[in-house]
Amino acid sequence: MTTLITSLNQDLFHEYGRNMISGFIEKSIDVRLIVVFEGDDTKINIPQNEKVKLINLESPDHSYFLRTFGKLYEANGYRLIRQKGRNEQQLQLIHDFRYNLVRFSFKIFSILIAR
């Protein structure tokens, strides 16, 4: 049996997660879904079903990661770019979601927890 893993927080659950899980339960034939929830899972209502398993994101390793890297600009997707100006170089701070390690760390640690 194939297993899919996703992570949701409370906002994402209410925005699209509830509908995604209901549709998964209705349409899935031979696939199981593990939902790793970021936050208080008592505030959401996931139907009891053998196709869907809810796990709370409680990881000392993830907490350590956030404490260690969470305040760094670089880990939050910010980069310094050198731009050539008139007779001098200028630095510009830009944000690029592709480099946001903190944001994507929830997905990585969800996979580790769900194994």
Alpha helices in 1-115 (DSSP H): 10-12, 18-27, 60-69, 101-114
Residue count of the chain = 115
Query: pLDDT tens-digit profile of 67-78?
Result: 999 999 999 999
Burial (CB count <10 Å: 0-12, 13-18, 19+), residue 21: buried
Which has more pLDDT, 69 or 46?
Answer: 69
Whether the predicted pLDDT of 60 surpasses 80: yes
Kindly list the domain boundaries of the chain, sorted by start residue: 1-58, 59-100
Whether the predicted pLDDT of 89 surpasses 80: no
Phi-psi group of 5: left, alpha or beta (phi > 0 → left; psi -120 to 50 → alpha; rest → beta): beta
Query: pLDDT tens-digit profile of 28-42?
Result: 999 999 999 988 777
Which residue bears the tokens 């209901």?
22
For 96, phi and psi rounded to 5 degrees?
Answer: -135, 115
Global pTM value:
0.77
